[in-house]
Amino acid sequence: MKKSILLACAMIASTTSFASEHEHAHWGYTGDGAPENWASLTGDNFACTGKNQSPINLTGFIESELAPIVFHYQAGGNEIVNNGHTVQVNYQKGSYIEIDGKQFNLLQFHFHAPSENHINGEAYPLEGHLVHADKDGNLAVIAVMFKEGYENKGLAAAWKQIPMHEGDKHAFSASVDALDILPENKDYYRFNGSLTTPPCSEGVRWFVMKEAVTASKAQIEAFKATMHGANNRPLQDVNSRVILK
């Protein structure tokens, strides 16, 4: 296999099932497995000290003619999993986005509370990450911020069977549509970054929706109750990267 495909397999394993080698390293968000110690838990996490890490505070934008993301989503969320680090909706094949002349297939979406990325210094109570991969294993993440307000249609569908305990998994009786958690306006900010969980692999395209969506207080609290604490990685240095808008 090509080196890029091998790397991508490791990255996707981390974002979808958190491969057993990383589980054995006992990474988390507090104590000895906290983010500041991720790089020392296993040699596989060497990238956690890299120069292009996520999340970041999005500010100091560079004006750019960003091409629209073309969405080809269908209702394909078929199961919801609590893996101890997040609650994740796994997606059937067939949904994808087009950007940079490539097709990136939607693999899953998951959540962090509070938000990992900030926008102009502002944090949000909840952030969703929609994880995609192209045919060569290159990753693209669409991030959407949730502010407290009206109930979110997409979350309502997923949270009907929200798994409350680590290791719980539930199949949906009706497929969930990822479009229901995205804003109507799909304008975005863009930067190059990494996975926000071990192994922190870099080379990830990040597209952060400019427009936040709402979630009810009850929906936000329901997610937080499953995690028993915050599951957000602290902000990382932007270094020499540019953030486009």
Q: Which of 154, 160, 156 is nearest to 182 (CA)?
A: 154
Calpha distance 189→208 (Å, rounded): 5
Catalytic, out of 22, 85, 110, 112: 85
Calpha distance 144→165 (Å, rounded): 25
Calpha distance 111→91 (Å, rounded): 15
Q: Which of 119, 139, 122 is nearest to 206 (CA)?
A: 139
Q: Which ranges in the chain belong to alpha helices (H)?
A: 3-16, 20-24, 38-41, 153-159, 217-227
Question: With the CA atoms of 130, 241, 210 and 140 taken in that order, what torsion angle do they form, in degrees rounded to the nearest 10?
Answer: -20
**Residue the block writes with tokens 């080698």:** 21
85 as an active site residue: the answer is yes
The residues assigned a catalytic role are 85
